[in-house]
Amino acid sequence: MLVDVYKTDGMKTGDQVTLDPEIFEIEPNDHAIYMAVRAYRAAQRQGTHKTKTRSDVRGGGRKPWRQKRTGRARVGSLRSPLWRGGSTIFGPIPRDYRMKLPKKTKELARRSALSQKAKQSQILVVEDFSFDHPKTKQMTSVLKALAIDEKKTLLLVSKNDSVVVKSGRNIPSLNILEANKASTYDIVDCQVVVMQRSAVGVLQNTFTI
């Protein structure tokens, strides 16, 4: 697949970049994408929720009244879950929500997500750029020139560029990542994927095809 390369002013450079068909032109596997997104979202959960069980609440060591001949229901503790000040029945406890996915499934999901974006013409390649100083206004002007300033955008760069990152971190609709760190969720969660020219090779080299 050949894709035009754009300048930061929105004009075409006249060059084209070849995108690997094994990554950008496969038949998307929706189930693999679903599993990868589900695993990503599950890993974001802290899992620190906790309520106190009968063994955690303070008190309740004394039996309130004797077992028989009181006319009342038998009770063994003042901290029964049925009583005020008691514990919680079957409450949440700390746990790890992370899911393990096979490496091939993860790769299939990423390739499917990228192929989906390519099929919908939502992939844009732009020449490498940076700024002298972090400036949100400069990044905004680039997005406007590319006519994507009102779209949720994922910008992939070849390596960490603090100036570019700082220039775009205050733009709510923009997410900037290194190409080799973009997950399936990051790709699916945007309306357009913008790749710097040098980031294309970095992204394609992350796949073992």
Structure tokens, 71: 């006319």
**pLDDT higher than 90, residue 208:** no
Task: List b or e across 122-161, with b for residues whose CB sees 16 or more CB atoms inside 10 angstroms.
Answer: bbbbbeeeeeeebeeebbbebbebbebbeeebbbbbbeeb
pLDDT of the residue at 85: 84
Q: Are 143 and 153 in contact (CB under 8 A)?
A: yes
**pLDDT higher than 70, residue 209:** no
- The DSSP symbol for 77 reads -
**pLDDT averaged over the chain?**
91
CA distance 165 to 155: 10
Most confident segment among 8-17, 23-32, 199-208: 23-32
**pLDDT higher than 90, residue 160:** no
Q: What phi and psi, each to the nearest 5 degrees, are found at residue 82? A: -85, -10
pLDDT tens digits for range 54-85: 888 888 788 889 999 999 999 888 888 888 88
**pLDDT higher than 80, residue 28:** yes
